[in-house]
Structure 1
Amino acid sequence: MKAFRLVPIVLALVLAGCSSDDLLLQRRVDYRSGSDNLSKNPLEVPPDLSAPASKSTLSLPPRATLVAAASATASQVLPGSTKAKVVTAGGQRWLVVRGKPEKLWNEIREFWIANGFLITVDNPAVGIMETDWLENRAKLPQDALTRLLNKVSSRFASTGELDKYHVRIERGTELETTEIYVTHRGMIEAYRDDGSTQLRNTTAHVDTIWKPRPSDPVLEADMLALMLQHFGMDEQTARATVKTPAEQLTRAELSADGKSLSVFDSYDRAWRRVGLAIERSGFVINDRDRTKGVYYVRRADTDIAKEETTNYLGKLAFWRKNDADKKLAAEKLEYQLQIKQEVNRSVLTLKAKNTSDPALEKQLMDALLKQLK
């Protein structure tokens, strides 16, 4: 649950020992201490994966397009002493890192591995990387009793939440740079009978389920700050950089028929913001073609999968739905999102790959509007 999921015998003791006076200062992000992945994750390319051979593996615009874009944004080019920076647009943030995607791919992978994650999606061809689900142990109280219990087993106390991160990597519009977009996805444990997430003081057996929770921009910012440190920035500067106040939100509006969305931005800026908006809206980018202005998207697996039963010490495995069924369900929910530049705006339109689902299309367009307006 939100605070703890504990063995009944120690439940009362732990709750009694968790007063604010006993809590110690703690980091806001800690996936390593609750992860058993570190021993599985040598900091090298796994034997069943190969490093991208060349820049041709990434679906990116031609050099001429990049040169033109770089000329238009020359004032934003990274200083010679800076390897990475944060770019903000509305309420969104991403990193611009000096270096080509094929040179940085392994370094980005190693960052997630070093933080305790397994890499479940590693696809240089489309520039997508995704982690497994982990618990952020920094949310647990750091009193002596909780630490003692965790030395026995990390299952004695739990936040009742799981996190994973979706990473999109693109060649930057600035020459010799890479853009890194990080999107958080979350799950929360809830009681099956009423959907409540509040802890119950009971020794009776109860069934729980995992259900999606909203993306957390604060966690995204924290991971960007850690990534900046990974690329050589000191901790204080990194945290101050990602906390820089976001600029005024760029306007967006939905057409009267709800079939198109206008973003009052240049094409390049709209492309970046729409990509993040898609990923924050519960959808996944399968592929993209920046030169044509097309994102190929589908509904996220966490929204497709059936909820699974758990118990106090059950495995955190809610993704057991048959792979073939999941693939078929995902294929039926694929869409093509087209971005076209018009006078003083970029216009988004949506087209179903197979069967049209008006309710799902409205859900996506409304979610994009919420992220972009």
Structure 2
Amino acid sequence: MKLYRLLFMRTLKLTSMIILLLQITACSWLFGDEGTFRDRSNDYRQATVTAPLELPEGMESESIDDRYTIPTISDRTTLDDDFEVPSPEPLADDVNRDQVRINSLGEQRWILVNGAPGQVWPRLRGFLSLNQLAVQHTDAINGLIETAWLQPEGEDALRERYRLRIDQGVQRGTSEIYVLQADIRSGDENWPQQSSNAEREKIMTQELAQYLADSSAAAAVSMLAQQAINSSGKITLQEDANNNIHINLALPFSRAWAAVGNALQKSGFVIDDINRTEQVYHLNYVEGSNSKEKEKDGIFSWMFDWAPSNDADKPAESIAYRVRLTDSNNGTIAITIESADNTELSKSDTERLLKLIKRNIT
């Protein structure tokens, strides 16, 4: 019995020593020589911006990409003195946004693609290479790719060529691709303002859109196109000198008018009347009708659903608004929202409603 007790005590001491050594070692590893955690919060201040890598002539730079690109802050508004922190916005501006979509307005047609121009540019080159369409001229700075003259199949088919133009989309991180077709009737040098054969342009647009939809977004990025074509988007939320908030949209009025009308319907507004002459949409909006607005009560709201509420039997209130489009001197469109009864909207309500509309403008 004494021997057992002696062995037990020695084992207990040995175990205690091992635990103590482990604690000392762990502390020295975590805290360092000075016994404290190193403050890394200001390390970013030492970061420097370097010039893009320059490659020798003849070498491609499509596979080079900034791993951690800092996005541009487009929306700049000041806070009220009495500010209430709003619910966080959804991670994705539009979870239902298609990867690739063909849009049209009048006789104009374009492909809308998720991805910055620098990311989409190599995929355009891949489409032309896959279909063995010879490239005559490329201009990454202006986002242009021109094919050589091609001879379609068919006895009466005219020689033709195509020009692909990539531009920044309305929303940040999207691109628009325009296809222009020219046949031998338009001459050897000059490109026409519109396609010589609208049907041939349509076919090429559909084939290109299908290729972009089928092919996954490649990791390759054209740094030249990325730097030359602004990828911050054509839409921003701004504030004028009088602290009035508005959406600034860099589009021609005809397209801006159609885009806003489509966005209002997606945002849950009911359009009662349209006055194209005065450039005003007359609307009604039921607070909480938008699915994203319903989430603002929080993730724990289900815990209190059992409790009776006097508001349960109250009908949802419909509020009338006016959304106005105004041409700016710099060629952009200013979009504002106001109450239909001319009562002043609070700054927070104005910003909230404009952000809702802004998310759905494409």
TM-score by length of 1: 0.34
Structure of greater relative contact order (alpha carbons < 8 Å, 6+ residues apart): 1
TM-score by length of 2: 0.35
Based on CA coordinates, which of the two structures has the bigger radius of gyration?
2
